[in-house]
């Protein structure tokens, strides 16, 4: 069943029920104040407000559970969202909320949900979402969001963070494992407890100068990439032993040394390391199933002399290590997760010899936008 709210009086009537079996829909002409406080503690279906330019306040001091989707889309005037008793939601799906600075939840806030999407809002703070485990989290185009801290411990599908406030600091102190993450346009990103990534971990066009994942030991099936992070000076993942896919560090122009992977011994795809660094140290490497390319604008003869020992043995695909290459920062595509074989080259060999990478390109802004649209 569906209960439709056309007016404040309708909301008052619905709030006299302790439970709504079905959806509650706020009509496009309802507002400005919709108050669901009263006896109502549970909506088994969705709570939705969409394409409403009149609603300014949506609140309930009694509602504890929304079994379906809590959807707010193109509700451009809502400035107050107050749900102090709400603890459980099936899905949060918010988009185009141009007047809402901060939703208000209780303590501990929302502790149970399957997925969270917050896109194209003026929200400055979303600390009240304290879910322990999620399937998906998608936080994008929230231009005033400058801080996000969450107690989430596991994320079974994907975390996307892109195009939020310019000084966004993101803290995930309890995150232990995640399937996939793509992080872009973030100033600070902290995951001190992370130990396992099941899929891929990608950092693209961020503003942090240091990335540390002190307890990460395995990226099981996907890629690890740091691409076009202009202020990045240090990467430290000292316990990382294996990457199931490709390994890419490219166009991070402030990164002078790549020496934070002291335990890395196995890479299931290709290696692409390109930039303006003077030192590359991968001392524990024993098996690279794809190609291996290290290219710098600087003199890296000493590093190449050490890495050349991996040619034809550790590296199963094409091998190349070259310094003083003016175009070293031009190619920021991902290393292929596929293995490759062929001739090997180093500084002393022919520059025309093939380098065995397929063009598995990083998410562009447009491609990521299409993925974001799929969540909405």
In this prediction, residue 165 carries a pLDDT of 95
- Spatial strand order of the sheet with 104-105 comes to 33-35, 57-59, 80-83, 104-105
In this prediction, residue 332 carries a pLDDT of 80
pLDDT digits (tens, 9 = 90+) for 145-177: 999 999 999 999 999 999 999 999 999 999 999
In this prediction, residue 336 carries a pLDDT of 58
In this prediction, residue 354 carries a pLDDT of 30
Residue whose C-alpha is closest to residue 246's, from 296, 281, 289? 289
Residue whose C-alpha is closest to residue 209's, from 233, 173, 184, 179? 233
Tens of each residue's pLDDT in the chain, 376 residues:
899 999 999 999 999 999 999 999 999 999 999 999 999 999 999 999 999 999 999 999 999 999 999 999 999 999 999 999 999 999 999 999 999 999 999 999 999 999 999 999 999 998 889 999 999 999 999 999 999 999 999 999 999 999 999 999 999 999 999 999 999 999 999 999 999 999 999 999 999 999 999 999 999 999 999 999 999 999 999 999 999 999 999 999 999 999 999 999 999 999 999 999 999 999 999 999 999 999 999 999 999 999 999 999 999 999 999 999 999 999 888 875 444 433 334 443 333 233 333 333 333 444 434 433 443 4
In this prediction, residue 356 carries a pLDDT of 32
∠ CA 185-156-249 to the nearest 5 degrees?
40
CB 265 within 8 A of CB 288: no
3-state secondary structure the chain: CEEEECCHHHHHHHCCCCEECCEEEECCCCCCEEECCCCCCEECCCEEEECCCCCCEEECCCCCEEEEEEEEECCCCCCEEEECCCCEEEEEEEEEECCCCCCEECCCCECECCEEEEEEECCCECCCECCCEEEEEEEECCCCCCEEECCCCEEEEEEEEECCCCCCEEECCCCCEEEEEEEECCCEEECCCCCEECCCEEEECCCCCEEECCCCCEECCCCEEEECCCCCCEEECCCCCEECCCEEEECCCCCCEECCCCCCCEECCCEEEEECCCEECCCCCCEECCCEEEEECCCCHHHHHHHHHHECCCECCCEEEECCCCCCCCCCCECCCCCCCCCCCCCCCCCCCCCCCCCECCCCHHHHHHHHHHHC
Q: Mean pLDDT, the chain, as a whole number?
A: 91
Could you give the C-alpha distances from 153 to 37, 196, 243, in angstroms and in order? 32, 11, 21
> Domain ranges in the chain?
1-194, 218-362
CB 247 within 8 A of CB 227: no
In sequence order, what are the residues at sequence separation of 6 or more whose Cβ sits closer than 8 angstroms to the Cβ of residue 268? 242, 243, 244, 245, 289, 290, 337
Sign of the torsion formed by the C-alpha atoms of 21, 23, 27 and 31: positive
In this prediction, residue 331 carries a pLDDT of 84
In this prediction, residue 344 carries a pLDDT of 39
CB 161 within 8 A of CB 142: no
Other CB atoms within 10 A of residue 217 CB? 16
Cα Rg of the chain, angstroms: 24
């Amino acid at each position: 069943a569906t209960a439709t709210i056309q007016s404040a009086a309708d909301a008052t009537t619905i709030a006299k029920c302790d439970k709504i079996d079905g959806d509650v829909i706020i009509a496009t002409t309802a507002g400005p104040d919709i108050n669901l406080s009263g006896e109502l503690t549970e909506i088994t279906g969705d709570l939705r407000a969409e394409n409403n330019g009149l609603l300014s306040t949506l609140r309930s001091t009694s509602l504890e559970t929304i079994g379906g989707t809590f959807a707010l889309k193109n509700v451009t005037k809502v400035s107050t969202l107050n749900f102090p008793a709400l603890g459980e939601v099936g899905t949060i799906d918010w988009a185009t909320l141009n007047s809402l600075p901060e939703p208000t939840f209780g303590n501990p806030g929302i502790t149970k949900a399957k997925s969270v999407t917050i896109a194209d809002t003026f929200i400055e703070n979303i600390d009240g979402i304290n879910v322990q485990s999620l399937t998906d989290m998608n936080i994008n185009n929230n231009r005033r969001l400058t801080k996000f801290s969450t107690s989430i411990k596991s994320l079974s599908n994907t975390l996307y963070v892109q195009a939020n406030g310019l000084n966004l600091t993101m803290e995930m102190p309890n995150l232990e494992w995640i399937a996939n993450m793509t992080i872009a346009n973030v100033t600070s990103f902290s995951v001190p407890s992370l130990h396992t990534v099941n899929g891929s971990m990608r950092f693209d066009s961020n503003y942090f100068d240091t990335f540390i994942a002190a307890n990460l030991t395995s990226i099981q099936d996907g890629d690890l990439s740091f691409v076009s992070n202009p202020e990045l000076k240090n990467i430290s993942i000292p316990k990382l032993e294996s990457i199931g896919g490709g390994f890419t560090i490219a166009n991070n122009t402030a990164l002078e040394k790549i020496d934070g992977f002291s335990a890395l011994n196995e890479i299931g795809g290709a290696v692409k390391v390109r930039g303006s660094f003077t030192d590359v140290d991968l001392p524990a490497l024993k098996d690279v199933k794809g190609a291996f390319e290290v290219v710098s604008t600087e003199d890296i003869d000493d590093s190449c002399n050490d890495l050349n020992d991996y040619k034809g043995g550790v590296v199963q695909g094409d091998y190349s290590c070259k310094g003083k290459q003016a175009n070293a920062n031009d190619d920021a595509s991902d290393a292929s997760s596929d293995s490759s074989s062929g001739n090997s080259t180093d500084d002393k060999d022919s520059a025309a010899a093939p380098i065995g990478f397929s063009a598995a390109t990083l998410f562009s802004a447009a491609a990521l936008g299409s993925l974001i649209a799929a969540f909405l």
